[in-house]
C-alpha cells in the first residue's frame, strides 16, 4: 500500500463536497482500522477546471472556497501532476453515451490509479472494457454508489453471495417519480407534483430523464449487466414513464386499495433476460406500495433465497459519498492483500 494515497476528484458538486467532508471526518478511523492515510491532490469540474496541489488541499479550504491550486490542461496532465493513486469520478450522468466519465476512468486506469465512480454511465456503456482495463493494470474499477446510493448491492453479490444465481429483481429505484406520484395522491396534477418535487430539490429543472423512465432504465441496465452477466444498454430496456398517469387515475387506484409505482424489473427466462421500467398498480398488501418519498427498495430472487429485499429510507447525499468511501477501502484492501 502507498504510505499516503493521493486522491483526485472529478465533479465537485454536492456529492464531491460531501465526500471531502466524509473523508475528513473519517480520517482517524481510516488510519486506525484500515491503515489508510490520504491527501486530496486534485480537484476538477467544468467550472473549476483541472486544479492540483501536490501537498494536498485542506478539507476546510475545499469546503469553504474554490480551490486555488495550479491549473492543468486536461485529465492526463492533471492525473500526472496530482500523482493520483485513486480517482473519484462524480461528474454528471450522460445516459446516452456515458461520456466524458468513461474517458476520465480510462485515463485513470491507464495512469495506474484505482477508479471509483458514482456515475452510472460508465457501468452501462463500458463495464467490461473498463473492468478488463483495470485488471490489466492491476487496479480496481468500483461503482457502489451508482445504484441506490451507498447501499452495498454490487459488493453484496461480489463478496458476500458467491456462487449464487440471480434470477431476477423488482424494485423502486427512481426517487423523483416516487415523490411525484406521492404528491399526486394528495390531489396535485402531474405538473403541480413536478413543481413541488423541484421545490423540494428532488427533481431537476428538466425532469424528463426521471419522468420518462430513463434514470430508472439506466439503473436496470447497470444491475442486469453487472449482476446478471448480460450486457443491456438503457435503450434496450423496455421503458414507459409516468407522463400518462393522471390524478384521476391515482384517485381511482386509491379507492381499490392500490398505488401507482414506477417499477424496475428484470427476469432470466429460458437463457435470456427481459428488463423493463413501467408504472404499475401495487396493492397496499405489497411492501413496495409503502415505499415513499426518496426511499428505494429492491427485491432479488435467487436460486438460494426466493426473496432477498433491501430498503433504503430517505437517504441524503452523504449516502452516495459513503458508497465511494467503501469502494476506496476495498481498493486499499486489495493492495494490502498482495
* DSSP-assigned letters across all residues of 69-120: -EEESSHHHHHHHHT-SEEEE-----TTT-TTHHHHHHHHHHTT-EEEE--H
Give this prediction's pTM: 0.95
Report how far residue 211's alpha carbon sits from residue 127's, in angstroms, rounded to the nearest whole number: 26
* SS3 of residue 166 by DSSP: strand
Q: Is the pLDDT of residue 81 over 90?
A: yes
Q: Is the pLDDT of residue 338 over 80?
A: no
pLDDT band at 93 (very low <50, low <70, confident <90, very high): confident
72-96 mean pLDDT: 95
Nearest to 263 by CA among 283, 247, 246: 283
What sign results for the dihedral spanned by CA atoms 97, 101, 103, 105? Answer: negative
Q: Is the pLDDT of residue 270 over 90?
A: no
Q: Is the pLDDT of residue 67 over 90?
A: no
pLDDT at 271: 81
CB 60 within 8 A of CB 33: no
- Domains plus CATH for the chain? 5-150+318-336 (3.40.50.720), 160-314 (3.30.360.10)
pLDDT band at 1 (very low <50, low <70, confident <90, very high): low
174-194 mean pLDDT: 96
Report how far residue 258's alpha carbon sits from residue 105's, in angstroms, rounded to the nearest whole number: 44
pLDDT digits (tens, 9 = 90+) for 104-162: 999 999 999 999 999 999 999 999 999 999 999 999 999 999 999 989 999 999 999 99
* SS3 of residue 271 by DSSP: coil
52-63 mean pLDDT: 94
The DSSP secondary-structure symbol of 137 reads: T
Amino acid at each position: 500500500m502507498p504510505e499516503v494515497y493521493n486522491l483526485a476528484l472529478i465533479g465537485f458538486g454536492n456529492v464531491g463536497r460531501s465526500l471531502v467532508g466524509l473523508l475528513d471526518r473519517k480520517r482517524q478511523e481510516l488510519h486506525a482500522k484500515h491503515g489508510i492515510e490520504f491527501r486530496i491532490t486534485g480537484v476538477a469540474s467544468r467550472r473549476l477546471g483541472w486544479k492540483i496541489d501536490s501537498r494536498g488541499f485542506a478539507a476546510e479550504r475545499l469546503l469553504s472556497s474554490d480551490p486555488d491550486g495550479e491549473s492543468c490542461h486536461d485529465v492526463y496532465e492533471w492525473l500526472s501532476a496530482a500523482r493520483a493513486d485513486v480517482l473519484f469520478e462524480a461528474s454528471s450522468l450522460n445516459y446516452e453515451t456515458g461520456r466524458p466519465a468513461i474517458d476520465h476512468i480510462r485515463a485513470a486506469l491507464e495512469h495506474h490509479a484505482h477508479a471509483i465512480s458514482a456515475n452510472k454511465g460508465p457501468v452501462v456503456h463500458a463495464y467490461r472494457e473498463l473492468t478488463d482495463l483495470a485488471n490489466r493494470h492491476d487496479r480496481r474499477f468500483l461503482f457502489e454508489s451508482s445504484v441506490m446510493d451507498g447501499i452495498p448491492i454490487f459488493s453484496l453479490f461480489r463478496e458476500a453471495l458467491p456462487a449464487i444465481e440471480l434470477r431476477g429483481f423488482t424494485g423502486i429505484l427512481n426517487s423523483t417519480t416516487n415523490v411525484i406520484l406521492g404528491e399526486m395522491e394528495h390531489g396535485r396534477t402531474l405538473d403541480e407534483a413536478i413543481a413541488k418535487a423541484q421545490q423540494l430539490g428532488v427533481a431537476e429543472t428538466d425532469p424528463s430523464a426521471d419522468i420518462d423512465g430513463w434514470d430508472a432504465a439506466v439503473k436496470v441496465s447497470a444491475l442486469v449487466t453487472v449482476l446478471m452477466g448480460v450486457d443491456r444498454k438503457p435503450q434496450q430496456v423496455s421503458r414507459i414513464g409516468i407522463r400518462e398517469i393522471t390524478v384521476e387515475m391515482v384517485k381511482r387506484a386509491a379507492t381499490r386499495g392500490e398505488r401507482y409505482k414506477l417499477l424496475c424489473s428484470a427476469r432470466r427466462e429460458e437463457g435470456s433476460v427481459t428488463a423493463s421500467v413501467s408504472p404499475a398498480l401495487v396493492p397496499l398488501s405489497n411492501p413496495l406500495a409503502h415505499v415513499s418519498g426518496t426511499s428505494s427498495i429492491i427485491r432479488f430472487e435467487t436460486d438460494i433465497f426466493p426473496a432477498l429485499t433491501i430498503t433504503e429510507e430517505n437517504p441524503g447525499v452523504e449516502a452516495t459519498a459513503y458508497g465511494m468511501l467503501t469502494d476506496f477501502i476495498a481498493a486499499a484492501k486489495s493492495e494490502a492483500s498482495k
